[in-house]
Structure formats: C-alpha cells, structure tokens
Amino acid sequence: MAHLNYTTLVDWVNEEFKRLEITHVVAYKAERTYFTTDQYEGGACRMRIYFKSVSDTNTSGISHYFMCFYPLKHINECIKEGYKMYLNFSFRSNRKYLNELEIQLKK
C-alpha cells in the first residue's frame, strides 16, 4: 500500500465498505482531531472518517462518522513495517451501527 494521506484513506475506506458489503453509505472526508495531549492519552480519537448515505448529495448538517485512534503518521509507519489495515466492527459491536467501525492494524 502506498503512503496514506486523508484522501487515499477515504478511498481505502470506501473499498472496505464494498468488502464488508456496506453499500448504502460512502465515506467522503477524513480529518484529524485537535485535542490536548492529556485527552489523547485518556483515549480521545485521533481522526474522524465521515460518511453519508449514497443518495444524499448534502454533506452539511448532521455528521455521521466513525473514529480512528491511530494518527495517520503511525498508520504509515506500521504499513512500512508490514502491517495491514482492516476495517472491522469493534469487538463490542453488534454490527448494527456504522459508527462502531474501527481501523485495525495487524501483521
């Protein structure tokens, strides 16, 4: 996998949606969060990946997103070391809500 930036991350998420047979939504934006160091150490997310209904042309208003707890720099370093990214529902999820998706890194 090539070097990730926010645009290629969104493209990757959309490919993962297809793999997971999630066809009613599309990712359209990823952005980093701006919390304090203490908040990050306390478990705050590093990025948000926004998604919307395929039929929705409007991206303003209510935002739907899932969180990523890895910074983009860390993901890129792990990919260089041979890790692969996966988009899966969190272990505590009942696969019902898309905001329970998470990016996982595995060797």
CB 51 within 8 A of CB 23: no
pLDDT by position in tens, the chain (length 107) = 678 999 999 999 999 999 988 898 999 999 999 898 898 888 888 899 999 888 887 766 667 889 898 899 999 999 999 999 999 887 665 666 788 888 989 98
Look up the pTM and report it: 0.86
How far is C-alpha 9 from the chain's CA centre?
A: 8
Whole-angstrom distance, CA of residue 76 vs CA of residue 90: 21
How far is C-alpha 106 from the chain's CA centre?
A: 15
**Cβ count within 10 A of residue 65:** 19
